[in-house]
Structure 1
Amino acid sequence: MSDGLPDVLAPGLVVVFCGINPGAQAAATGHNFVGRSNRFWRAVYLAGFTPTELSAEEDQTFVKYGCGLTVAVARPTRKAEEITREEMFAGAAALRAKIEHYAPRTIAFLGKAAFAAIMTQRDVTWGPQPARFGGAAVWVVPNPSGLNRGFSLDQLVEAYSALRRAVAKDLPST
């Protein structure tokens, strides 16, 4: 749980999507990716992770599709840039312990910034990473936030679809 925003986790999930931290609106409502401009639920649906587009209020049902949600830093902010390097470093240990405990097959970091800060790595590419995190395979996909104007919905779906294809054999049939 992170300041009013519960994790969506269960043991042995196929993919856990990891954001940098909860947005203020998400923390206030207790639901992940609640902002109207956030494209997460649309992107995972169009990429084939869910058979219908879930609403933020249905976030806890995401586990039945083999997927989970967590954050690297518990403190909610309006913009991810408000998170300090120290908070990211401290959050890395807690996140690693959480991933080791729940043992998902893959962790997908939403954006290069979170992954780079947690792994203290400068050069990060999109897609699968050579390193593992907490025992899980690692992917980096674009952040679906409406504040991230660098990626269109089609580009998000393309990136999330590549992840889905890589883990498809392990996902429950929907």
Structure 2
Amino acid sequence: MARFTRAQLESFNGALVDDLVGGRVRLLFVGINPGLWTAAVNAHFARRGNRFWPALHAAGITPYEVDASDGMRADDLAMLAALGVGITNIVPTASARADELTRAELRAGGAALAAKVSALRPNVVA
């Protein structure tokens, strides 16, 4: 498991985190913005203890529980793409807390998200 000091994590403040979209997206999850751990490993909902991946598995959306704490494995990415599951954020840059985002960032992110949803045309946006 990856380990980071507070200073190392803070160095990822403002880092861009890639969307997880591949192939036909049927279900698009939208976060506010990525956290620092997510940016450090470039994997959504990567912080240990985050309930996102266990909840997806418990709901029957994924056949197994993804462990993104060290980054996404190639087989996890392939499985999510095959299932049509995608992940994006309103604001694509990392911060320690969502309340650090400016109104301008949120407005711009909202417009970018609307364009992204229009282009991807998922069945469901959550």
TM-score range relative to shorter protein: 0.7 to 0.9
Q: Deviating runs (4+, > 2 A) in structure 1?
A: 58-61
Contact in 2 for aligned 1:11/1:102 (Cα 8 Å): no
Contact in 1 for aligned 2:91/2:106 (Cα 8 Å): yes
Return the offset for 1:45.
0.4
More strand by share: 1
Structure 1: tracts of 5 or more residues without a match: 109-174
Return the offset for 1:87.
1.1
Alignment partner of 1:60 out of 53, 61, 77: 77
TM-score (norm 1): 0.57
Q: In the alignment, is residue 91 of structure 1 matched against residue 118 of structure 2?
A: no
Return the offset for 1:11.
4.8
CA distance in 2, matches of 1:25, 1:54: 16
Match of 1:26 in 2: 38
Matched pairs, number: 107
CA distance in 2, matches of 1:60, 1:78: 25
Q: How many percent identity over aligned positions?
A: 38
TM-score (norm 2): 0.77
Q: In the alignment, is residue 48 of structure 1 matched against residue 66 of structure 2?
A: no
Are the structure 2 counterparts of residues 100 and 11 from structure 1 closer, same or farther at C-alpha, using a change threshold of 3 Å? Answer: farther
Structure 2: tracts of 5 or more residues without a match: 1-13
Return the offset for 1:53.
0.6
